[in-house]
């Protein structure tokens, strides 16, 4: 393969996947069209049951987006102005945005330099610092982020949360399908959120998300919040909620994709292992701790001259992406929090040197070899 064949390289290949499941997709979508229940149709309950069983939790509620999946649990916990929630600055803005939408304060914690997930030791340090210096605000919860497909280190995070009486909301937007010490992503913490954005390892053909928990009261609140705070019927509203419903069509798509999802997770891990074996002497490759299985939402590497590398790869027809070039504490949207460059040096260093290469279950070996060769040279 050479640069003249660059059109064959997809950063994420949804077309090949669709060809595999086209018959199932069409049958399921036709079924929705036949019954006509486009909102909260029977596929919603079927999907929730299958997702809950897959993750190994009692309850699942699907919703309109990964952002809704983060926002709704915070609403159920009654997060409000004066509250503080601890999270990572090295993530997509939605993680901290939902905290700000409720008038609360996001308190950032630096990341582990190898996994890029929130550092449990620094988490406790930031909590102690907050409790000492912020008597006017109340520490309420922690949102660990599972970045690039692998979970955060939940054993120490949950221990810290218990020590300081904080809830844990797992941001599993990028980790659905991963495991942590034998536990599926989505089963950690008090409640978990994931995203079905099309580029995710399990994605629909639009926006979508899901929330997981084992608590009956939490689930009752979430079901109410999902439909405008509904009580006994749609015109009896017992709390403030949102329109957080997932479309039935998207549920049908996800049900078709679930049929091959385990196989795709296996393929992702095989491709990632091959990348690591071939790139380990050229760039800093991802680190996956023992007893973790990543779902490889992205395959991200570190280099010193990132822009130069990205431009060279582009000239050879290799697509790349940068997740995330500016940490949240340096975003203008959070300027009122008073953070500045140097406050979270690990996040800043990683943000300055990380980039992602094509990763999907259908990446052919010859294409992967061309990508590897383009990086190594």
Residue the block writes with tokens 């620094």:
122
Q: Partners of 180 in the beta sheet?
A: 183, 292
- DSSP annotation of 242: -
Tell me how crowded residue 25 is: count the other CB atoms within 10 A of its CB: 17
pLDDT digits (tens, 9 = 90+) for 195-237: 999 999 999 999 999 999 999 999 999 999 999 999 988 899 9
Q: For 273-302, b where at least 16 C-beta lie within 10 A, e where not — what string?
A: eebeebbeeebbbbebeeebbbbbbbbbbb
CA angle 50, 189, 175 (to 5 degrees): 55
Same fold, 18-258 and 260-376: no
pLDDT at 233: 87
- pLDDT above 90 covers what percent of the chain? 96
pLDDT at 134: 73
pLDDT digits (tens, 9 = 90+) for 53-70: 999 999 999 999 999 999
Q: Tell me which CATH code domain 260-376 carries.
A: 3.90.1150.10
Spans of the chain, pLDDT less than 70: 1-7
Kindly provide the residue ranges of all beta strands, DSSP E only, lying in 118-218, ordered along the sequence. Answer: 138-143, 167-171, 179-180, 183-184, 191-195, 209-213
pLDDT digits (tens, 9 = 90+) for 87-112: 999 999 999 999 999 999 999 999 99
pLDDT at 8: 74
CA distances from 176 to 54, 209, 279, 294, 356 (A): 10, 11, 26, 9, 19
pLDDT at 136: 83
pLDDT at 69: 98
Report the half-sphere exposure of 78 (CA within 13 A, side-chain side).
2
pLDDT at 171: 98
pLDDT at 217: 97
Closest CA to 90 of 11, 160, 144: 144
How many angstroms separate the CA atoms of 76 and 111, rounded? 27
pLDDT at 234: 85
Topology (CATH level 3) of domain 18-258: 3.40.640
50 φ, ψ (degrees, to nearest 5) = -70, -40
The H or E element spanning position 375 is helix 365-376
How many angstroms separate the CA atoms of 50 and 214, rounded? 15
How many angstroms separate the CA atoms of 235 and 229, rounded? 10
- Ordered by start, the domain boundaries in the chain are 18-258, 260-376
Tell me how crowded residue 140 is: count the other CB atoms within 10 A of its CB: 21
Quick one: how many helices (H) and strands (E) in the chain?
12, 12
pTM: 0.96
pLDDT at 5: 56
How many angstroms separate the CA atoms of 2 and 370, rounded? 7
Kindly provide the residue ranges of all beta strands, DSSP E only, lying in 144-266, ordered along the sequence. Answer: 167-171, 179-180, 183-184, 191-195, 209-213
The SS3 assignment for 348 reads: helix
């Amino acid at each position: 393969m050479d640069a003249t064949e660059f059109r064959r390289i997809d950063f994420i290949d949804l077309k090949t996947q669709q060809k595999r499941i086209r018959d199932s997709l069409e049958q399921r979508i036709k079924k929705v069209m036949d019954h006509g229940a486009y909102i909260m149709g029977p596929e919603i309950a079927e999907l929730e049951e299958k997702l809950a069983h897959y993750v190994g939790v009692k309850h699942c509620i699907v919703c309109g987006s990964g952002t809704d999946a983060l926002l709704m649990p915070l609403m159920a916990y009654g997060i409000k102005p004066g509250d503080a929630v601890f999270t990572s600055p090295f993530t997509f803005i939605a993680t901290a945005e939902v905290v700000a939408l409720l008038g609360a304060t996001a308190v950032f914690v630096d990341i582990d330099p190898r996994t890029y997930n929130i550092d449990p030791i620094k988490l406790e340090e930031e909590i102690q610092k907050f409790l000492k210096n912020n008597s006017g605000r109340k520490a309420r919860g922690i949102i660990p982020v599972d970045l690039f497909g692998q979970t955060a280190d939940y054993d120490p995070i949950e221990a810290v949360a218990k020590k300081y009486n904080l809830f844990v909301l797992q941001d599993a937007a990028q980790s659905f399908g991963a495991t942590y010490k034998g536990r599926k992503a989505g089963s950690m913490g008090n409640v978990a959120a994931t995203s079905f954005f099309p580029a995710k390892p399990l994605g629909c053909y639009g926006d979508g998300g899901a929330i997981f928990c084992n608590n009956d009261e939490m689930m009752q609140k979430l079901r109410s919040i999902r439909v405008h705070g509904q009580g006994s019927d749609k015109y009896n509203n017992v709390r403030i909620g949102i329109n957080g419903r997932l479309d039935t069509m998207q549920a049908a798509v996800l049900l078709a994709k679930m049929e091959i999802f385990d196989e795709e997770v296996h393929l992702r891990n095989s491709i990632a292992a091959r990348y690591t074996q071939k790139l380990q002497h050229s760039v800093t490759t991802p680190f996956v701790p023992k007893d973790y299985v990543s779902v490889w939402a992205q395959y991200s590497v570190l280099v010193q001259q990132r822009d130069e590398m990205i431009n060279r790869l582009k000239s050879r027809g290799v697509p790349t992406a940068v997740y995330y070039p500016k940490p949240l504490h340096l975003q203008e949207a959070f300027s009122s929090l008073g953070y500045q460059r140097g406050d979270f040096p690990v996040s800043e260093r990683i943000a300055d040197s990380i980039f992602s290469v094509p990763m999907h279950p259908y990446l052919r070996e010859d294409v992967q070899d061309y990508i590897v060769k383009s990086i190594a040279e």
